Structure 1
Amino acid sequence: MTTMNGAQLADDLNPGVRAVLEERYGHLLPGMADTVIDMAYERFYARPGLDLKSRYIATIAALSAMGAQTAPQLRINIQAGLKVGLNEMEIAEVIWQMALYGGLPAAINALNTLRSINDE
């Protein structure tokens, strides 16, 4: 998957993400969807140097430490992490490691996000 361009990677990991962004925010910020796809996927996730599993471990860790305000982004990135080969236990351990840096409430909220994905 790392040989894909950003748009292909975005569609593979989060099908329809461009359309969702356009529908939600396009009337307020024309071109925002293209910017997000270009920045997040093309310039970050599709870069060489780290595999996608490692990139999603880092992303999940950061979003977990930031706390509950990132729950929607955490959900999307946990789902993508599962798609690139992370398993539930690995994700739970990444989240738990962030309890040391973001606090127990942030980790518990992140674990609840993980559980809600598994419950679906």
Structure 2
Amino acid sequence: MNRERYDRGLKIRKDVLGADYVDAAIQNADDFNRDLQGLVTEYAWGEIWSRPGLARRDRSLLNLAMLTALNRPHELKLHIRGALANGVTKDEIKEVFLQTAIYCGAPAAIDSFRAAKDVFKEMGV
């Protein structure tokens, strides 16, 4: 593990997803999934999310579309929260999901709208 990249990733991950969530994910890791937590923190967050080519806001918009296409509702809810933290508005999230309805299918977009409504309600957005 590259400690500098891991630490950079940990900071970004906490900034986007929230320190409580990230700390719990790492603390609750066990022998089976601890390596995955390290991999995600170091490479997804420390290598990719730290690149200068896209703003965090843009990366969040992309993640919402990709997670819709992949039908990953748990991760989608997490990244909806992250998108809001990165300055994405509720209306912009709606537009992403309308775009995915055309390119990924209505059922995928319907599930994403449903997930977003749950997050907005939980967060009072």
TM-score with structure 2 setting the length: 0.83
Structure 1 runs (4+) deviating above 6 angstroms are none
TM alignment of 1:1-120, pairs within 5 A: 5-14=8-17, 15-16=19-20, 17-23=22-28, 25-67=29-71, 70-120=72-122
- What is the aligned length? 114
- 8 Å contact from structure 1 (residues 18, 34) kept in 2: no
Instruction: Please list the CA deviations of residues 1-24 of structure 1 after superposition, one character each: whole Å capped at 9, or x if unmatched.
Output: xxx92111111222141531451x
Q: Is the 8 A contact 1:75 1:114 kept in 2?
A: yes
1:42 positional shift = 0.8
Q: Any unmatched runs of 5+ in structure 2?
A: 1-6
Superposition CA RMSD, Å: 1.6
Contact in 1 for aligned 2:26/2:34 (Cα 8 Å): no
Distance in 1, Cα, partners of 2:26 & 2:63: 20
Task: Give the TM-score of the pair, scaled to structure 1.
Answer: 0.86
Deviations 1:49-106 (A, max 9, x none): 1101111111101111222xx0000011110000010000101100110111111010
Q: Which runs of 5+ in 1 are unaligned?
A: none
